[in-house]
């Protein structure tokens, strides 16, 4: 009996922690992005509310809560209300298997990686439901774009995760972290895999150059067009909290999670507390990269987005898996061999993809002779 | 699918779109998507859509992401400016000309003033001509900055900082024009036979500082966008305007020059002191979205050159004809004139018919944006929504001019 009560309490504690992490991260990320945006765009950004604008996102959240709870007359009442609620499930659920630090994990699942991929799909489900229930054509197009995008980019993401699973030999996220001890981070000897995973994860977040479902210049606001007030706030908070959560996943799987120098120095209640600091530092470096990418690359187009997933990322992911398997089977020092292969692949991809793409684009254009009037 | 979403009675344009849809179905034309029987949705883009600058409304029939039919609807900014001219003296009408193509108001004034001067047979003094060229070309820079900035922002508002940079740098031009004319947007600066004020003290130095800075700023824009793979992917080979289209639809300005038609009224039908100035007519050859963007960037560099020459050649002398003040009330002899003038967006024509009274009998503008808009159904049909946004941004419409 006590076991069950303890398990329930543990689950409740996890939900409270995971939600708090998501909300806090969203508030911090919104401010971070707005200030980073301002710096990169040569303006000031929010700097009036609190010291240097630190309370801006809090003020925004309160403003959103105070707004009228509005629902369009023809919208589906149940689904329209349900969508903002289930949108959080993905970002909260993912944290179940992530070790914040040594000994602080929601549940050490043996199918951690599969759980991780499965639960992130909930976000898209919510977007699809919300877009459909809004009864707005722009929302609908945005929602369908989101679904198509998720289907396409889930595959390269899984292909990236497969390499991790192959290298580590386990699907348990805690084992993945443990396998990266002594600074043998997977990103060091499989950077190409990380690149594939990272690109796919940006697309999963509906961010950066892949923010087509929102597509504010084409679809007004995409799937959130009809949402306002706190319902919109839920989508918004989830999007920004998702930045941190997705970066946490990337750090855990590729950058050694909570590990760092002296990360096990202070341990009480069986938890090494310094690990949290390392985890946060690494996470926020990646979050900043996500913001930076968003600000430097214009949005792709739907067909280009799909083409990039199906014609570039998936074949490369498959080749990557094959080569990794071959190296692990036959190479004597497979980590070194893999590092060589992966870095060469990464540099070749970055060095070749851009010029080839530009050449193809320039070639397909037709010249017209100059006419003097 | 339409009825399921309809919340209000469809208006004329939507009814037309639906009728065309029915006709297409009757002809047996279905969806372009395989395995889909019926997938068309009629969507209103505008008048409050974020990317149709101003209040342009496009009634689009979508087949998935493909656009099957476009009906542009205009008139949301109509202020009957042409009719207003008939109840105002020639002089009173100058500020209203500002409000037609409001992003290039000085150039619009110039076109109107040129027409009245031709009607009256006035020749402005040389210094006034140079000041006109200087302010007109500065305005052209400002206008192209808005055009390029909003176009890149249409592709992705936060994708590059381009939109913010161009608007930041437009402030420099507007500051110059403000110290010259006293206004930032609606200048009311040109007069028949001259300009309202002479160049203020120290203005030439300020202008030279800006001219030194401007090419570097254009370099910065090019570094941001012109070599960005995603930007090239969005723009290259999209929305091609052929030379036949240019002839058929009367396309002028950078849009025509991007298609390889070297049509520039400053060269072809020179007015003011342009024949004395050395500048290049910027021509690109592909006619796609990217070339229109590039054309505008390169034209900014040419504008800088022109203004530099004007500052070097600036003569002393009066800046208005005759007495100290330009004539307030004039009554041109009966007759009609048409004067075409090169606006940032193309040929801005002014037609004035005079019956000898103090008011124009009829006034008509040939607005370049209006002609460019006619191309929309042809350019946008059969491409994707995202492409359509890029194409319409690159055409660079100003609704004040279209609706007049």
Query: Structure tokens of A122?
Result: 């909930």
Q: Residue B216's CB: how many other CB atoms inside 10 A?
A: 8
Residue A47: exposed, middle, or buried by beta-carbon count in 10 A (0-12, 13-18, 19+)? middle
> What tens digit of pLDDT does each residue of B197-232 get?
888 988 999 999 999 999 999 998 888 888 888 888
Lowest mean pLDDT of A256-270, B115-129, B159-173, name the range.
Answer: A256-270
Is the residue at B8 inside a domain? yes
Nearest to A371 among B152, B156, B260 (CB): B260
Q: Distance between CA B84 and CA A163 in Å, rounded?
A: 72
Q: Are B159 and A296 inside 8 Å of each other by CB?
A: yes
Report chain A (373 residues): mean pLDDT per 10 consecutive residues.
Answer: 85 86 88 88 84 86 85 82 86 85 79 87 86 83 85 88 88 86 84 91 83 72 81 86 89 85 77 84 90 85 85 90 89 83 89 87 82 78
A270: contact with B, CB 8 A cutoff: no
Closest to A141 (Cα-Cα) out of A214, A250, A52: A214
Alpha helices in chain A (DSSP H): 2-40, 56-65, 77-94, 112-133, 137-168, 173-178, 186-189, 191-204, 229-254, 274-296, 302-307, 314-330, 334-363
A302: contact with B, CB 8 A cutoff: yes
CA distance B154 to chain A (A): 6
Q: Which domain holds residue B29?
A: 2-73
β-sheet bridge partners, residue B364 = B351
Q: Are A138 and B228 inside 8 Å of each other by CB?
A: no
Q: Distance between CA B344 and CA B136 in Å, rounded?
A: 9
Chain A and chain B share a number of CB contacts under 8 A equal to 138
Q: Distance between CA B285 and CA A209 in Å, rounded?
A: 29
Q: Are B4 and A354 inside 8 Å of each other by CB?
A: no
Q: Which residues contact A166 (CB under 8 A, 6 or more apart)?
A: A321, A324, A325, A328
Q: Look up residue A210 and give its DSSP letter.
A: G
**Structural element, H or E, at residue A371:** strand A371-372
Is the residue at B399 inside a domain? yes
Q: Distance between CA A176 and CA A250 in Å, rounded?
A: 12
Q: Look up residue A224 and give its DSSP letter.
A: G
β-sheet bridge partners, residue B384 = B66
Q: Are A138 and B43 inside 8 Å of each other by CB?
A: yes
Q: Distance between CA B53 and CA B2 in Å, rounded?
A: 26
3-state secondary structure of B60: strand
Is the residue at B347 inside a domain? no
A40: contact with B, CB 8 A cutoff: yes
Q: Residue B120's CB: how many other CB atoms inside 10 A?
A: 18
Best A298, A308, A352 residue to mutate vs chain B (most B CBs within 10 Å): A298
* Per-residue pLDDT, B192: 84
Final residue belonging to a domain, choices B73, B97, B113:
B73
Mean pLDDT, residues B314-338 taken together:
79
Q: Which residue has the higher pLDDT, B242 or B4?
A: B242
3-state secondary structure of B386: helix
Q: Are B389 and A218 inside 8 Å of each other by CB?
A: yes
pLDDT band at B36 (very low <50, low <70, confident <90, very high): low
Chain B residues with CB inside 8 Å of A365's CB? Answer: 236-237, 286, 288
What number of helices (H) and strands (E) belong to chain A?
13, 3
Best B65, B152, B391 residue to mutate vs chain A (most A CBs within 10 Å): B65
3-state secondary structure of A31: helix
Q: Delimit the domains of chain A by residue range.
A: 2-350
* Per-residue pLDDT, B323: 60
Residue A167: exposed, middle, or buried by beta-carbon count in 10 A (0-12, 13-18, 19+)? buried
3-state secondary structure of B200: coil
Q: Residue B270's CB: how many other CB atoms inside 10 A?
A: 14
Q: Residue B50's CB: how many other CB atoms inside 10 A?
A: 18
Question: How many folded domains does chain B comprise?
Answer: 2
Final residue belonging to a domain, choices B38, B73, B108:
B73
pLDDT band at B1 (very low <50, low <70, confident <90, very high): very low
Question: Is the omega angle on the peptide bond into residue B211 within 30 degrees of 0, that is, cis?
Answer: no
3-state secondary structure of B196: coil
pLDDT at B2 over 50: no
Query: Structure tokens of A371?
Result: 């006419």
Are the CB atoms for A113 and A161 separated by under 8 Å?
A: yes
Mean pLDDT, residues B248-254 taken together:
89
Radius of gyration of chain A (CA): 22
Chain A residues with CB inside 8 Å of B244's CB? Answer: none
- Please measure the distance between the N-terminal and C-terminal CA atoms of chain B and give it in whole angstroms: 36
Query: Structure tokens of B256?
Result: 């025509």
Report the relative pairing of strands B360-366 and B194-195 from DSSP bridges.
unpaired
Nearest to B262 among A137, A297, A372 (CB): A372
Closest to A142 (Cα-Cα) out of A66, A71, A44, A210: A210
Nearest to A299 among B50, B155, B237 (CB): B155
Q: Residue A349's CB: how many other CB atoms inside 10 A?
A: 15
Is the residue at B202 inside a domain? yes
- B130 and B10 both lie in a single domain: no
Is the residue at B214 inside a domain? yes
Are the CB atoms for B275 and A352 separated by under 8 Å?
A: no
- B390 and B250 both lie in a single domain: yes
Model ipTM?
0.81
Closest to B348 (Cα-Cα) out of B79, B104, B89, B74: B104
Q: Residue B264 — φ and ψ, nearest 5°?
A: -140, 115
CA distance B155 to chain A (A): 6
Q: Which residue has the higher pLDDT, B44 or A201?
A: A201
Chain A residues with CB inside 8 Å of B43's CB? Answer: 137-138
Residue recorded with tokens 């192959």 = A166
Are the CB atoms for A166 and A112 separated by under 8 Å?
A: no
A42: contact with B, CB 8 A cutoff: yes
- B296 and B175 both lie in a single domain: yes
Chain A residues with CB inside 8 Å of B384's CB? Answer: 301-303
Q: Distance between CA B138 and CA B154 in Å, rounded?
A: 24
Q: Which residues contact B25 (CB under 8 A, 6 or more apart)?
A: B38
Q: Distance between CA B243 and CA B249 in Å, rounded?
A: 10
Q: Distance between CA A19 and CA A246 in Å, rounded?
A: 15
Nearest to B51 among A217, A369, A370 (CB): A217
Is the residue at B34 inside a domain? yes
Q: Residue B204's CB: how many other CB atoms inside 10 A?
A: 14
- B324 and B398 both lie in a single domain: yes
Q: Distance between CA B366 and CA B390 in Å, rounded?
A: 25
- B153 and B47 both lie in a single domain: no
Which DSSP string corresponds to B68-122? EEEEEE--TT---HHHHGGGS-TTTTHHHHHTTSGGGHHHHHHHHHHHHHHHHT-
Q: How many residues does chain B have?
A: 404
Q: Are B285 and A368 inside 8 Å of each other by CB?
A: yes
CA B256 vs CA A138, A241, B377: distances in Å: 33, 47, 17
Query: Structure tokens of A86?
Result: 């289930």
What is the pTM (predicted TM-score) of this model?
0.86
A372: contact with B, CB 8 A cutoff: yes
CATH number at residue B381: 1.10.645.10
Lowest mean pLDDT of B30-44, B135-149, B155-169, B250-264, name the range.
Answer: B30-44
Q: Which residues contact B41 (CB under 8 A, 6 or more apart)?
A: A137, A140, B1, B2, B5, B61, B62
Residue B324: exposed, middle, or buried by beta-carbon count in 10 A (0-12, 13-18, 19+)? exposed
A216: contact with B, CB 8 A cutoff: yes
Nearest chain A residue to B388 by CA distance is A218
* Per-residue pLDDT, B210: 92
* Per-residue pLDDT, B33: 61
Phi-psi region of B30 (alpha: psi -120 to 50; beta: other; left: phi over 0): beta
């Amino acid at each position: 009996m006590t076991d069950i009560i303890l398990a329930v309490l543990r689950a409740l504690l996890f939900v409270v922690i995971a939600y708090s992490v998501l909300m806090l991260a969203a508030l911090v990320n919104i401010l971070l992005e707005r200030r980073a945006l301002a710096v990169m765009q040569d303006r000031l950004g929010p700097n009036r509310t609190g010291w240097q604008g630190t309370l801006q996102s809090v003020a925004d959240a309160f403003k959103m809560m105070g707004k009228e709870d509005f629902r369009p007359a023809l919208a589906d009442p149940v689904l329209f209300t349900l969508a903002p609620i289930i949108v959080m499930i993905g970002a909260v659920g993912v944290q179940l298997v992530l070790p914040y630090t040594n000994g602080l994990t929601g549940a050490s699942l043996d199918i951690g990686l599969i759980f991780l991929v499965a639960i992130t799909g909930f976000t898209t489900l919510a977007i699809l439901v919300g877009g459909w229930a809004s009864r707005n054509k722009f929302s609908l197009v945005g929602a369908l774009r989101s679904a198509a995008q998720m289907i396409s980019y889930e595959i390269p993401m899984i292909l990236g995760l497969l390499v991790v699973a192959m290298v580590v030999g386990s699907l348990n996220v805690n084992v993945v972290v443990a396998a990266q001890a002594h600074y043998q981070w997977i990103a060091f000897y499989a950077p190409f895999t990380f690149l594939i995973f990272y690109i796919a994860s940006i697309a999963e977040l509906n961010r950066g150059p892949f923010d087509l479902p929102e597509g504010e210049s084409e679809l007004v606001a995409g799937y959130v067009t009809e949402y306002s007030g706190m319902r919109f706030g839920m989508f918004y908070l989830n999007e920004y909290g998702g930045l941190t959560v997705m970066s946490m996943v990337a750090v855990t799987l590729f950058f050694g999670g909570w590990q760092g120098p002296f990360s096990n120095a202070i341990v009480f209640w069986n938890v090494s507390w310094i690990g949290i600091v390392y985890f946060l530092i690494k996470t926020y470096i990646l979050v900043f990269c996500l913001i930076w990418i968003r600000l430097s690359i214009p949005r792709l187009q739907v067909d280009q987005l799909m083409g990039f997933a199906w014609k570039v990322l998936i074949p490369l992911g498959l080749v990557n898996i094959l080569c990794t398997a071959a190296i692990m089977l036959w190479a004597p020092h497979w980590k070194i061999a893999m590092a060589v292969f992966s870095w060469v692949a990464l540099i070749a991809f970055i060095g070749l993809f851009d010029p080839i793409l530009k050449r193809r684009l320039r070639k397909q254009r037709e010249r017209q002779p100059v006419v003097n009037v | 699918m339409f009825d399921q979403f309809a919340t209000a009675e469809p208006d004329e344009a939507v009814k037309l779109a639906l009728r065309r849809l029915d006709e297409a179905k009757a002809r047996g034309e279905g969806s372009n998507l395989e395995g889909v029987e019926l997938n068309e949705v009629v969507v209103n883009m505008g008048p409050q859509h974020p990317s149709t600058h101003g209040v342009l409304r496009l009634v689009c029939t979508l087949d998935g992401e493909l656009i099957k039919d476009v009906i542009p609807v205009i008139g949301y900014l109509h202020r009957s400016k042409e009719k207003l001219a008939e109840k105002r003296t020639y002089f009173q009408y100058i500020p209203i000309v500002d409000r037609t193509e409001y992003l290039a108001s000085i150039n619009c004034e110039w076109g109107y003033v040129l027409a009245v001067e031709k009607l009256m047979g006035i020749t402005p003094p040389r210094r006034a001509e140079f000041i006109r060229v200087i302010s007109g070309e500065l305005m052209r820079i400002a206008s192209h900055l808005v055009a390029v900035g909003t176009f890149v922002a249409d592709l992705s508002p936060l994708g590059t900082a381009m939109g913010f940079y161009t608007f930041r740098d437009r402030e420099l031009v507007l500051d110059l024009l403000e110290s010259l004319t006293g206004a930032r947007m609606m200048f009311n600066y040109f007069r028949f036979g001259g300009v309202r004020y002479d160049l203020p003290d120290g203005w030439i130095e300020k202008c030279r500082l800006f001219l030194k800075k401007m090419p570097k700023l254009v370099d910065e824009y090019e570094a941001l966008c012109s070599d960005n793979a995603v930007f090239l992917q969005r723009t290259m080979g999209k929305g091609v305007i052929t030379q036949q289209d240019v002839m058929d639809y009367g396309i002028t300005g950078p849009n025509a020059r991007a298609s390889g038609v070297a049509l520039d009224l400053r060269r072809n039908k020179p007015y003011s002191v342009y024949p004395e100035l050395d500048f290049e007519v910027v021509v690109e050859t592909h006619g796609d979205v990217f070339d229109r963007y590039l054309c505008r960037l390169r034209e900014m560099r040419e504008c800088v050159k022109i203004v530099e020459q004007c500052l070097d050649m600036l003569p002393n002398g009066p800046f208005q004809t005759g007495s100290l003040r330009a004539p307030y009330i004039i009554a041109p002899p009966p007759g009609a004139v048409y004067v075409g003038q090169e606006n940032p967006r193309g040929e801005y024509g002014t037609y004035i018919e005079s019956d000898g009274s103090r008011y124009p009998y009829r006034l008509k503008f040939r607005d370049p944006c209006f002609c460019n808009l006619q191309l929309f159904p042809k350019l946008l049909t059969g491409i994707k929504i995202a492409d359509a946004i890029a194409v319409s941004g690159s055409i660079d419409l100003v609704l004040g001019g279209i609706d007049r």
